[in-house]
Amino acid sequence: MEGTARRIPLLSKSRFMSGLQCHKRLYLECFNRELADPVTEQQQQIFDSGTRVGELARDLFPGGVLISEDHMDHAGAIDSTQRELTGAPVPPLYEAAFLHDSVRIRADVLVPHTDGSFDLVEVKSTTRLKEEHISDVGIQLYVLLGHDLPVGRACLCHLNREYVYQGGDYDLRQLFTLEDITYECSVVQREFPALLQDMRRSLAEREAPAIEVGRQCTNPHTCPFLGHCHANVSEFPVGQLPRASGKLLDALKGAGIRDIRDIPAGFSGLNPLQRRVRDCVVMGQPYLNPELPRQLRTLRRPLHFLDFETFNPPVPLYVGTRPYQQVPFQWSLHTLTEDGSLRHAEFLHDGDGDPRTAFVDSLLANLGVRGPVLVYSGFEAARLRELAAAIPARAEELRAIAEERLVDLLQLVRSHYYHPAFHGSFSIKAVLPAIAPEMSYGDLAISDGTLASMAYAEMIGVGTTPQRKSEIRANLLAYCERDTLAEVAIYRHFVGARTAS
């Protein structure tokens, strides 16, 4: 078999991390990038956010020098790094470049000390240390030590979830947390020579390794080749079983079962919801517990159908908020009145400053004190409690809604209904087409909450033109209104559903 003629490309930190997740992902990234899924707006937003956090973190180590060559000019970046390292005194270095054992890296920050040693600092826009960060920093330490650079500490710098912004300049020492993970990195890097050898062995082959889809496709990150590798997966793969544990998926795989329709009726390990999903898919029919329409029919009008939109900037913008705190900026409310008419009200903050007070005042004025408030998920309840803590003057009213009036349609549907067209998901985007196919989000410029969050951040941005702001505003209003109309459609569908006596 041909296998060793292919030239093995240099590895990098990102390629090494891809190889840890899946050798097929690594292979495709090296040789078949054209098969990758397009980068979504959401993904690009995450990348851009991480870049901004990384740039802000450099101010923790002032007076540094940026190795400015881009990542395509690694040789030039190495030369620039070496020039800075031979100077006196050596400044902190941002994006320093190194190559060892055919692995190239760019270190976020190298901090020099008077004894000639350095701290390696990797910046992440997360709020905690994650398991994969150990290998991420570890491969950099492996390269630096192989390059005979004296590294005293290997550190992860991440956002501090407990930091509360007080206004003005950020207190960077409080905004960021620096964790010393030198020991952990030293332990894992002992495995790196063997791991690198295995990766290079895969890259030497003429074809990508034949690796089945599985948990590694989304853990620890969604693979950019997800669409390519899942192109020939069945319509109802076992991965669609809700909340399927690794143990269950391994048991199904060990039994040679890849499709939900092939799961035997008596297969052990399925919880009641998974068994319901299996039965509906096998029979090709939805399941409805009469308890769902019964509970909805007990609700007395006026019925309020409510949806929030929020954004959660990594670096807080408003006094009293924390990194990644959800800040509500928009609501939509459809009210089904006693006479059967449907009334709509809405709010979207598009001015300067913290939107929360205006959000709460307008919401309470429109909700009144009568009638159940129907939502889809526990998201609104959590936000109401947070708003109560942030705005004590309205706390009692907000808690009364959260604790006494909310009805979660998601919990009712998950507990009492399933349709094969859900494909394992109970999100409103999955439920709506199955029960109200005449409704969709396909005609909207903004079609999910993540896009709404990103759009709002753009709308309030300093450089956004008035024309663009107006366009975003219209798109946000249309999306949030569609969400509450979807809740109305779900309610009407199940209230009118016929059940066996």
Element (H, E) at 493: helix 466-495
d(CA 236, CA 215): 16
pLDDT at 211: 96
Measuring CA to CA, which residue among 331, 287, 268 is closest to residue 477? 331
Strands 303-311 and 373-375: parallel
pLDDT at 501: 42
Residue 4, pLDDT above cutoff 50: no
pLDDT at 351: 83
* Edge-first strand listing for the sheet containing 373-375: 342-348, 327-336, 303-311, 373-375, 406-408
pLDDT at 500: 54
Measuring CA to CA, which residue among 493, 479, 487, 491 is closest to residue 375? 487
pLDDT in tens, 201-242: 999 999 999 999 999 999 999 999 999 999 989 999 999 999
pLDDT in tens, 254-265: 999 999 999 999
First to last CA, the chain: 66
Q: What would the mean pLDDT of 132-155 be, rounded to a whole number?
A: 97
Q: What would the mean pLDDT of 457-466 be, rounded to a whole number?
A: 94
Which phi and psi (to 5°) does residue 330 adopt?
-155, 145
CATH topology for 11-197 is Lambda Exonuclease; Chain A (3.90.320)
Residue type for position 300: R
pLDDT at 5: 53
Q: What would the mean pLDDT of 395-399 be, rounded to a whole number?
A: 98
d(CA 112, CA 90): 7
Measuring CA to CA, which residue among 484, 476, 486 is closest to residue 437? 486
Is residue 85 within 8 Å of residue 99, measured between CB atoms? no
pLDDT band at 327 (very low <50, low <70, confident <90, very high): very high
pLDDT at 3: 43
Residue 66, pLDDT above cutoff 70: yes
- pTM for the full predicted model: 0.93
Q: How far, CA to CA in Å, does 92 sit from each of 71, 75, 87, 118, 132?
A: 19, 20, 12, 9, 26
d(CA 86, CA 116): 11
CATH topology for 289-501 is Nucleotidyltransferase; domain 5 (3.30.420)
In the DSSP assignment, the letter for residue 40 is P
pLDDT band at 42 (very low <50, low <70, confident <90, very high): confident
Q: Give residue 486's Cα distance to chain centre.
A: 24
Residue 2, pLDDT above cutoff 80: no
**Residue 20 CB partners (closer than 8 Å, separation 6+):** 132, 135, 195
SS3 at position 343: strand
Q: What would the mean pLDDT of 374-400 be, rounded to a whole number?
A: 98
Question: Which residue is associated with the tokens 């890296």?
Answer: 105
In the DSSP assignment, the letter for residue 205 is S
pLDDT in tens, 472-488: 999 999 999 999 999 99
SS3 at position 105: strand
